[in-house]
A and B are shown apart, each in its own frame.
Chain A
Amino acid sequence: MLAVVDHATPLSAHIANWLAAFVGLEPIWVFHAVGALVVATGVLALVVTPVGLGGVYLERKLAGRIQNRRGPNRVGPYGLLQTLADGVKLLSKEDIIHRGADAPLFRLAPYIVFLSAFAGFVVLPFWPGGAPANLDVGIFYFLALIGLETIGIVMAGWSSNNKWSLLGSMREVAQVISYELPLGIVAMCPVIVAGTMSLSGITEVQAGPIWKWFVFRDGIWAIVMVPAFLVFYVSGLAAAKRAPFDLPEAESELIAGFHTEYSGMRFGMFFLPEYALMLSISAVTSVLFLGGYHDPLGMSAEGGSMHGVWWWGLIWFFSKTTILFLSQLILRWTLPRLRIDQVMYLCYKVLLPIAMACLVATAFLRLFFS
């Protein structure tokens, strides 16, 4: 059923239409709201579970293997249930709001971080027509959510009444807001080529075999798109606060930065979004540059043998995302951490000029080559 969904109509609208037909009424806003809720729940259920269980497990296992250790291996086969056990532990821990904390802000902060990290998933086109909400300004919405997350982190750092937390959240603001610039600018390169800001639309333009993907598009575009891809990847690392840009948490400097004072599930609500954000940024990178759900041979392109088969697209989408995700994990366990002024140097003096050059070059190429 899903395979025949019209690409333009969001999934929630389909559910609303189906509900209306079931009840026997015209689709009114109630049905649309229910449809949206169903989609949101579905995304959370489908995304939180693999992110929470898979992401954290992968990170720990991979870190273990890189460091010549075993990683988690006690709970369940190969330690697969370790994250679940950790979740249960976090849930059952005492929820401490210490004296001196600004309690309302302290409580609110994890929700904002959690929401903004997971809300990014609704615009991702998982398979042809598989975007839960096919926004016209998908990439714009996604970048805005990254900015929104910093608000939650500033609230956490400020309300914790801990100077290390404050310093961590200030680093976070400085870093993420700065890195939004190259991130946003370089994201415009695919937008210029595709002529749309919708992530589904951008994917559709890349239909076809590997040389149609934006990063290699027709050979000539690689001159622009490879640096653009690298800039986007590095900025994405910084926006997700991953090593070598993990300054806001900087274990050896700021202890744990903005979430030092959080315990139990409130800490868990900072911990999970980190992986969610990593995954969604990897997904957006794969959509913008690596052809999203298209396979390298063009079988899922229009006229290809697998065209419209939803699981075929999903497989490719997730494999590209996972490779990028894994590369982020391996990088963390390979590189030391930058210093705050070097982070700023890298952003404003390295990535931003390259991003600008990429943007201008893309515009010129677009003028002459398409």
Chain B
Amino acid sequence: MSNTVSETPAAANPNPSQIQGVKLSGERAVPVIPRDIQTDELVFNMGPQHPSTHGVLRVVLRTDGEVVLEAQPLIGNLHRSCEKILENLTYVQGLPYVDRMDYLGALNMELGLVLSVEEAGGVEVPKRAQYLRVIMCELNRVISHLFASGQFGLDMGAFTPFLYMFREREEGLKLLNMVTGGRLLYHYIRYGGVTRDITPEWAKLCLAWCDRVLAHMPEYDNLLTWNNIFLNRSCGVAILDASTCMDFAVTGPCLRAAGVKRDLRKDMPYSSYEDFDFEVPVGPFEKGVVGDSWNRYRQRLMEIHESLKIIRQAIEGLPEGETQQKKISRAWKSPPGEAYVASEAPRGEISCYFVSDGGKFPYRCRMRGPSFQNIAVLELCSRGLLIGDLIALLGSIDITLGEVDR
């Protein structure tokens, strides 16, 4: 068998070092599945146009048949040097750019930058603006989690739940559009506040939407979460345990699904998150092993419940007042200083190391993309998985390439 495989033109390039841009680390992986027949290794190029890489991620796989021996993620196809762009624009001009990092959780990206800059500049944000930020960011988080869960189902071959989740997502996007004016890239949060207030009618629509998402939850659960095939595909597959997560600085739902109770909204509350009563769900959940693909998927669904709770509380307890700090004008620039503030984005912890020299432009905005850190585990975790499991791993980590490459 090994002869025939090597003779095919498909396997004519067995030397990975000849492939441009690939440096395999050279460690031989030990596959989990016992192999009796030793066959030639294949080098696969997965992506950047592969449907399950969620963008333009390129993964070079070294496999023995279906067993992945090594997976090397190669990133940078979407690199726009967001940090350099931010250094060359005034404060107010830079804001629409951070939306483009994690385009599925754009409001949380804005918040990540704005919090750091406000901390360094000593900007007080009115309470109402803080609440509005919370409402919008949680709405965005629910939308992003709906997308991620549906996408994971799609990777597993279940198309229908993906579109059911898209239906609710679409409604949420409409809600965001009504307030921010954008459907995907919002440019809503500004230094010292937000651009636009919500109306009582919108609040009613939003609460109704929360009810609708909750009403549709059993549908997703019955169709996907508790499906036997889905459970078999994802339970115990691609386990990311707590120590690996800490080692790789994996944050967000992946870390919580591994059983670590870390949520910056609770641990280091920002933007008035301390006012809200919500739980931090952590793995393990009903099935599977702590930190496996199914638990990561389940974690996102559980977080949707908590986010909806926060939205409700924030709308009900919305204080009166300004939505924008009046002292912050368009030409506002931060006084010299530096700050590092992290916040909880849908995919993990977004933070910005912000340095100002008092000039017209920010001196340095070092953004932490949670997906960038999370995808680094792929190389370690994919060893010995089947190709189908690798897709499950990629889908359950839930990356956005705009944020990996920035």
Direct contact of A and B (CB under 8 A): yes
Distance of B15 from chain A, by nearest CB (Å): 15
A337 lies within 8 A of B156 (CB): yes
A164 to B156, CA, bound (A): 17
Q: With A166-B10, A252-B51, A335-B227 in contact, is A340–B388 under 8 Å at CB? A: yes
B163 lies within 8 A of A339 (CB): no
A164 to B11, CA, bound (A): 11
A residues in contact with B164, CB < 8 Å: 67-68
A158 to B223, CA, bound (A): 36
A283 at the interface (CB under 8 A from B): no
Q: With A68-B167, A164-B44 in contact, is A253–B9 under 8 Å at CB? A: no
B391 at the interface (CB under 8 A from A): yes
B residues in contact with A335, CB < 8 Å: 157-158, 227, 229
A337 lies within 8 A of B160 (CB): no
Q: With A162-B10, A163-B42, A252-B155 in contact, is A339–B386 under 8 Å at CB? A: yes
C-beta contact mask, A78-109 vs B, less than 8 Å → 1, else 0? 00000000000000000000001010000000
B residues in contact with A336, CB < 8 Å: 153, 156-158, 224, 227, 229-230, 233
Closest-by-CB residue of A relative to B151 is A252
A160 to B11, CA, bound (A): 12
A359 at the interface (CB under 8 A from B): no
B residues in contact with A254, CB < 8 Å: 387
B154 at the interface (CB under 8 A from A): yes
Among A31-39, A177-185, A199-207, A242-250, the stretch that binds chain B is A242-250
CB contact list, A121-169 vs B, under 8 A: 158, 160-167
C-beta contact mask, B19-61 vs A, less than 8 Å → 1, else 0? 0000000000000010000000010100000111000000000
A186 to B178, CA, bound (A): 60
A337 to B229, CA, bound (A): 7
A residues in contact with B158, CB < 8 Å: 334-337
Q: With A163-B44, A334-B223 in contact, is A340–B386 under 8 Å at CB? A: yes
A267 at the interface (CB under 8 A from B): no
A161 to B65, CA, bound (A): 16
Q: With A67-B159, A252-B52 in contact, is A163–B11 under 8 Å at CB? A: yes
A56 at the interface (CB under 8 A from B): no
| Max chain A C-beta neighbours (<10 A), residue from B65, B158, B230, B389 | B158
Chain A interface main SS type: loop
| Max chain A C-beta neighbours (<10 A), residue from B10, B42, B232 | B10
Q: With A68-B164, A335-B158, A337-B157 in contact, is A253–B224 under 8 Å at CB? A: no
A7 to B7, CA, bound (A): 52
A347 to B384, CA, bound (A): 23
B8 at the interface (CB under 8 A from A): yes
A255 at the interface (CB under 8 A from B): yes
B197 at the interface (CB under 8 A from A): no
Q: With A100-B9, A336-B227 in contact, is A244–B66 under 8 Å at CB? A: no
A66 to B163, CA, bound (A): 10
A333 at the interface (CB under 8 A from B): yes
Closest-by-CB residue of B relative to A247 is B388
Q: With A158-B8, A333-B160 in contact, is A253–B229 under 8 Å at CB? A: no
B residues in contact with A302, CB < 8 Å: none
Closest-by-CB residue of A relative to B45 is A163
When the two chains form the complex, which single residue of B42, B160, B227 contacts A67, counting CB atoms closer than 8 Å? Answer: B160
A113 to B155, CA, bound (A): 28
A78 to B232, CA, bound (A): 39
Chain B interface main SS type: helix
A338 lies within 8 A of B233 (CB): yes
Closest-by-CB residue of B relative to A63 is B159
B residues in contact with A41, CB < 8 Å: none
B10 lies within 8 A of A66 (CB): no
Q: With A67-B160, A68-B164, A166-B10 in contact, is A244–B387 under 8 Å at CB? A: no
A74 at the interface (CB under 8 A from B): no
B163 lies within 8 A of A252 (CB): no
Distance of B114 from chain A, by nearest CB (Å): 36
CB contact list, A221-273 vs B, under 8 A: 243-244, 246-247, 250-255
A residues in contact with B52, CB < 8 Å: 252-253
A67 to B153, CA, bound (A): 14
Q: With A67-B164, A68-B167 in contact, is A243–B157 under 8 Å at CB? A: yes
A333 to B159, CA, bound (A): 6
Distance of A316 from chain B, by nearest CB (Å): 31
B157 lies within 8 A of A252 (CB): yes
A342 to B232, CA, bound (A): 8
A residues in contact with B157, CB < 8 Å: 243-244, 246, 250-252, 335-337
C-beta contact mask, B132-156 vs A, less than 8 Å → 1, else 0? 0000000000000000000001111
B163 lies within 8 A of A161 (CB): no
A340 to B388, CA, bound (A): 8
Closest-by-CB residue of A relative to B51 is A252
A residues in contact with B65, CB < 8 Å: 167, 170
A residues in contact with B167, CB < 8 Å: 68
| Max chain A C-beta neighbours (<10 A), residue from B8, B42, B388 | B388
A253 lies within 8 A of B387 (CB): yes
A residues in contact with B386, CB < 8 Å: 339-341
A102 to B7, CA, bound (A): 13
A255 lies within 8 A of B388 (CB): no
B8 lies within 8 A of A166 (CB): yes
| Max chain A C-beta neighbours (<10 A), residue from B160, B227, B386 | B160
A165 to B391, CA, bound (A): 17
A143 to B157, CA, bound (A): 28
When the two chains form the complex, which single residue of B9, B33, B66, B229 contacts A167, counting CB atoms closer than 8 Å? Answer: B66
A254 to B223, CA, bound (A): 24
A residues in contact with B230, CB < 8 Å: 336
B residues in contact with A66, CB < 8 Å: 160
Distance of B367 from chain A, by nearest CB (Å): 30
A63 to B160, CA, bound (A): 8
B residues in contact with A67, CB < 8 Å: 159-160, 163-164
B8 lies within 8 A of A255 (CB): no
Closest-by-CB residue of A relative to B66 is A340
| Max chain A C-beta neighbours (<10 A), residue from B11, B42, B44, B159 | B159
A243 to B230, CA, bound (A): 13
CB contact list, A333-357 vs B, under 8 A: 333-342
A161 lies within 8 A of B229 (CB): no
B residues in contact with A251, CB < 8 Å: 51, 157
B9 lies within 8 A of A102 (CB): yes
Distance of A166 from chain B, by nearest CB (Å): 5
By a beta-carbon cutoff of 8 Å, the part of chain B in contact with chain A is 8-11, 33, 42, 44, 50-52, 65-66, 153-160, 163-164, 167, 223-224, 227, 229-230, 232-233, 386-389, 391
What are 7 A-B contacts defined by CB distance under 8 Å? Answer: A67-B160, A158-B8, A166-B10, A243-B157, A334-B158, A335-B227, A337-B388
15 further interface pairs, Cβ-Cβ under 8 Å (given A336-B156, A337-B388) = A67-B160, A67-B163, A102-B9, A244-B229, A252-B52, A253-B388, A255-B50, A255-B51, A336-B157, A336-B158, A336-B230, A337-B157, A339-B386, A339-B388, A339-B389
